[in-house]
A and B are shown apart, each in its own frame.
Chain A
């Protein structure tokens, strides 16, 4: 079974970390990524930029683009895509294509990305 592990933490707190603390946390996570990747058990890992960089595409007859993160509590996280785009506009285009009748797609730029083990 593949599992996804989603990280939640106060963004204000993480943003106020000094460089040393940030690097220490990344190094600790890096060790886990390396170990699991060597065992062929690690899928893609991504670290997202803060929610201030987020754009949300809300589904509808014509999708609406909102500046800011997904802020509703009545919908749940169901899945995610990682796509390579030259501009935010392209990402918005892809997200709009993916929407169904309701719900929303939050677009967040990725800062750190490890592709993980080659899939068998």
Chain B
């Protein structure tokens, strides 16, 4: 079976390019997907015998295109389908096509394909589901499992989302620079959503869904290979890699959340950290700062500390100040307050987050941080109220259990002076 594993990997790797190009030819998502499916079937027949083609994506595009053209002709004329050998004689055609389909074509094809999934009228979860289905090629069953819904519900959701994006007008001409930048921003945000859905699940029993994180990283790397000079795409890659590097240490053996400062840092993935650091370094050189780069730099400061107590909180505070300047948001200020509590103490941090209450009223982390700061200040009763509120807002069983732990300590010691202010 290992014989077929390499084909599977090659098909998965070629998928975004191939479907992106087929979409450009046929301007119809269903036709493009069907054509790619057929090309994959032929690859499974031909590749084990002939070996892998020099450029698998080009092979799949050509075969898929021929199939779809024949289908269209057949439907028009109601003719019989020609013999298999007639339409799949590829040996001579491959090389010139591969030359025509240079990197710049692929680039806009893949970007367009990803961009279609970011339809602004689609809710975030549907954008993600669509991208995982169309671009990554995950099965409906796999996506349903990741979102903890039934297969038929997910099938319906994807079908509806697809209908919505097909009716949207997406220009198929090569985009101009401003348009390309706009698409990149939307696509980067969507990839980050996929990662976050895996990193901190929005519902259900499972707190971390590694496959979604890995898929997001795969897409981010693909995007960076195509747009290698974009500092924010470097930043996005670095951010995802540095955060994902901590995955092995984020949950304990019982599946409970382990806070950043309590994590066994020897379990962090050194290779991902090295890659993240290299990308932060590369992006900073370009002096075009952006939110992903700054967040990646913050993650890099954490990764740099061999022990939690070595963390350079003053630098993290400064980086959050830069981030506030780039994209002011109450959540950014909340995160900055965690750094401020380490540098200037809990009172300063509390003063910073108290005005955020109206805006973050429904936000689990707000009440978690609030409770921890209050308990450090020995305001036990208020801390208990904040922790209670956090539990009621918890998105996963682990989040609730984690806060309950704080509460127990608070009740037992009278003060939970040890309650930690941190995010996992």
Q: How large is the interface on A (under 10, 10 to 19, 20 to 34, 35 or more residues)?
A: 20 to 34
Q: Name the prevailing secondary structure of the B interface residues.
A: helix
Query: Which residues on the B side are within 8 Å of A39 (C-beta)?
Result: none
Interface assignment of B282: CB less than 8 Å from any CB of chain A? yes
Contact A111 B225 (CB under 8 A): no
Write the chain B residue with the least CB distance to A110: B274
For window 73-120 of A, CB contacts with B under 8 Å fall at 87-89, 109, 111
Interface assignment of B347: CB less than 8 Å from any CB of chain A? no
Interface assignment of A68: CB less than 8 Å from any CB of chain B? yes
Whether A87 touches B229, Cβ cut-off 8 Å, given contacts A16-B9, A49-B275, A67-B286, is no
Give 15 CB contacts A-B under 8 Å.
A12-B221, A13-B13, A15-B218, A16-B218, A52-B221, A52-B228, A52-B279, A53-B279, A67-B229, A67-B282, A88-B278, A88-B282, A109-B274, A109-B275, A111-B271
Whether A49 touches B9, Cβ cut-off 8 Å, given contacts A15-B221, A67-B228, A88-B285, is no
Contact A87 B275 (CB under 8 A): no
Chain B: residues with CB nearer than 8 A to chain A?
A: 9-10, 13, 103, 214, 217-218, 221-222, 224-225, 228-229, 234, 237, 248, 269, 271, 274-275, 278-279, 281-282, 285-286
Contact A12 B218 (CB under 8 A): yes
Query: Which residues on the A side are within 8 Å of B274 (C-beta)?
Result: 49, 109, 111
Query: Which residues on the B side are within 8 Å of A66 (C-beta)?
Result: 229
Contact A89 B282 (CB under 8 A): no
What 4 pairs across the A-B complex have the smallest Cβ distances?
Answer: A68-B228, A53-B278, A109-B278, A67-B229
Query: Which residues on the A side are within 8 Å of B103 (C-beta)?
Result: 71
Contact B214 A16 (CB under 8 A): yes
Q: Which of B10, B229, B282 has the most CB of A within 10 A?
A: B282
Query: Which residues on the A side are within 8 Å of B229 (C-beta)?
Result: 66-68
Interface assignment of A4: CB less than 8 Å from any CB of chain B? no
Q: Give the distance in Å from the alpha carbon of A109 to the alpha carbon of B279 in the complex.
A: 10
Q: Give the distance in Å from the alpha carbon of A14 to the alpha carbon of B225 in the complex.
A: 15
For window 31-86 of A, CB contacts with B under 8 Å fall at 49-53, 55, 66-69, 71
Write the chain A residue with the least CB distance to B248: A19
Contact partner of A53 (CB less than 8 A), chosen from B9, B222, B275, B285, is B275
Write the chain B residue with the least CB distance to A89: B285
Query: Which residues on the B side are within 8 Å of A111 (C-beta)?
Result: 271, 274-275
Write the chain A residue with the least CB distance to B270: A111
Q: Give the distance in Å from the alpha carbon of A69 to the alpha carbon of B282 in the complex.
A: 13
Q: Give the distance in Å from the alpha carbon of A68 to the alpha carbon of B225 in the complex.
A: 8
Query: Which residues on the A side are within 8 Å of B286 (C-beta)?
Result: 67
Write the chain B residue with the least CB distance to A65: B285
Q: Which of A53, A69, A111 has the most CB of B within 10 A?
A: A53
Contact partner of B269 (CB less than 8 A), chosen from A12, A19, A50, is A19
Q: Give the distance in Å from the alpha carbon of A87 to the alpha carbon of B225 in the complex.
A: 22
Query: Which residues on the A side are within 8 Å of B285 (C-beta)?
Result: 88-89
Query: Which residues on the A side are within 8 Å of B10 (C-beta)?
Result: 10
Query: Which residues on the A side are within 8 Å of B237 (C-beta)?
Result: 52
